[in-house]
């Protein structure tokens, strides 16, 4: 079987992990971002300007290692993160030689890993994202502002626009579609992913439900 990988892309609290978990229903092995194991994560939210370079480099390499390791298993995978999102973080936070160094690492990763079979792009209003952030109550996220969320969403949108034509992208409004609690919406989301995948790869029984 060819390597099949879906990446979930979107801003903070746009529903990436929830959507990835949903795809386990149709045979995907979920790979979750292990943010708590990143040694720079807490420091980044305390003082983003001082620790963004090592934070972004380490997250991107962590994602690369996870995908590289899991891709050898043969089972289709879904990541609750995207390399496009990594690039968006770097674009809004890094400058000059640090951005150039990040892009060198990013380009090397692109050489070794095949592109994702599908990117699910979750769009969400920053005010809704901020409300979700407050609701989940992570102490390190208390300093996140709506302006930062808007900047990140804009950067993600720019990355999506750059990759159109190079990778299949499925755009979903995660504010309007309640794929957390509504079973009909969940079924609709799964069907949309199935249809998008059928346009991209030869699909066999991994989509049987």
Q: What is the CATH number of the domain that holds 134?
A: 3.40.50.300
What is the tally of structural domains in the chain?
A: 1
0.75 surpassed by pTM? yes
Task: Read off the pLDDT of each residue in 129-139 and give the average, rounded to a whole number.
Answer: 92
> How far apart are the C-alpha atoms of 166 and 207, rounded to whole Å?
24
Give percent of the chain with pLDDT exceeding 90: 70
Does residue 121 lie in a domain region?
A: yes
- Residue 169 has phi, psi (to 5 degrees) of -125, 130
Could you give the strand order of the β-sheet that contains 5-10, starting from the edge strand earlier in sequence? 29-31, 77-79, 5-10, 118-123, 169-173
| Whether the predicted pLDDT of 62 surpasses 50 | yes
Task: Read off the pLDDT of each residue in 30-43 and give the average, rounded to a whole number.
Answer: 81
Does residue 162 lie in a domain region?
A: yes
Does residue 208 lie in a domain region?
A: no
Does residue 148 lie in a domain region?
A: yes
Per-residue pLDDT reduced to its tens digit, 93-111? 999 999 999 999 999 999 9
Q: Which domain holds residue 178?
A: 5-199
């Amino acid at each position: 079987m060819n390597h099949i990988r879906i990446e979930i892309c979107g801003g903070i609290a746009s529903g990436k992990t929830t959507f990835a978990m949903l795809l386990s229903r149709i045979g995907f092995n979920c790979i979750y971002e292990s943010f708590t194991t990143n040694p720079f994560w807490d420091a980044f939210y305390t003082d983003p300007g001082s620790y963004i370079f090592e934070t972004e480099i380490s997250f991107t390499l962590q994602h690369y290692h996870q995908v590289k390791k899991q891709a050898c298993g043969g089972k289709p995978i879904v990541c609750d993160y995207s390399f496009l999102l990594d690039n968006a973080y770097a674009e809004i936070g890094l400058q000059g030689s640090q951005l150039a160094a990040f892009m060198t690492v990013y380009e090397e990763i692109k050489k070794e890993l095949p592109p994702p079979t599908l990117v699910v792009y979750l769009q969400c209003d920053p005010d809704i994202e901020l409300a979700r952030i407050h609701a989940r109550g992570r102490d390190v996220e208390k300093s996140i502002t709506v302006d930062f969320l808007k900047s990140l969403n804009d950067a993600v949108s720019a990355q999506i626009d750059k990759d159109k034509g190079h990778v299949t992208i499925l755009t979903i409004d995660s504010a309007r579609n309640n794929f957390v609690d509504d079973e009909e919406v969940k079924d609709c989301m799964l069907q949309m992913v199935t249809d998008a995948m059928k346009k991209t790869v030869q699909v066999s029984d991994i989509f049987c439900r």
